[in-house]
């Protein structure tokens, strides 16, 4: 089904509406109209957001009659999470440790 394009995936999850769509489609297939309604988007806007998610390989679509059913591609979301963890994981851990470390003369 294609490789994860990290740049496209990062752009895709940058929008709160698309993140909401991913949350909604995580546990099962959802129609485009259901996602639009639950995300309070017009059908054309939802369609554009779903296209961005599809192009980033974060969702898969399946035709059923005249409906399109969307589901999260969990393996691609996991790839993205792994990429972010490799990029930020150690740095954020070190930052947290530095921020929470007691300084001489301070109680903490």
Residue 106 is predicted with a pLDDT of: 53
- Provide the residue ranges of all domains of the chain, joining segments of one domain with +: 6-100
pLDDT tens track for 61-107: 999 999 999 999 999 999 999 888 887 777 777 776 788 875 555 55
Options 3.40.50.2300, 1.10.10.10, 2.30.30.100, 3.30.413.10; which CATH number does 6-100 get? 1.10.10.10
Whole-prediction pTM? 0.79
DSSP class per residue in 4-22: --HHHHHHHHTSHHHHHHH
Between the alpha carbon of residue 75 and those of residues 2, 45, 65, 69, 89, the distances in Å are: 11, 26, 27, 18, 19
């Amino acid at each position: 089904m294609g490789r994860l394009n990290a740049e496209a995936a990062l752009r895709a999850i940058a929008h709160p509406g698309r993140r909401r769509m991913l949350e909604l489609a995580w546990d099962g297939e959802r129609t485009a109209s259901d996602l639009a309604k639950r995300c309070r988007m017009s059908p054309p806007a939802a369609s554009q957001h779903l296209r961005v998610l599809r192009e980033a390989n974060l969702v898969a679509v399946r035709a059923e009659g005249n409906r399109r059913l969307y589901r999260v591609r969990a393996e691609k979301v996991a790839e993205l999470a792994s990429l972010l963890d490799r990029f930020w994981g150690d740095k954020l851990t070190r930052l947290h440790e530095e921020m929470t470390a007691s300084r001489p003369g301070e109680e903490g």
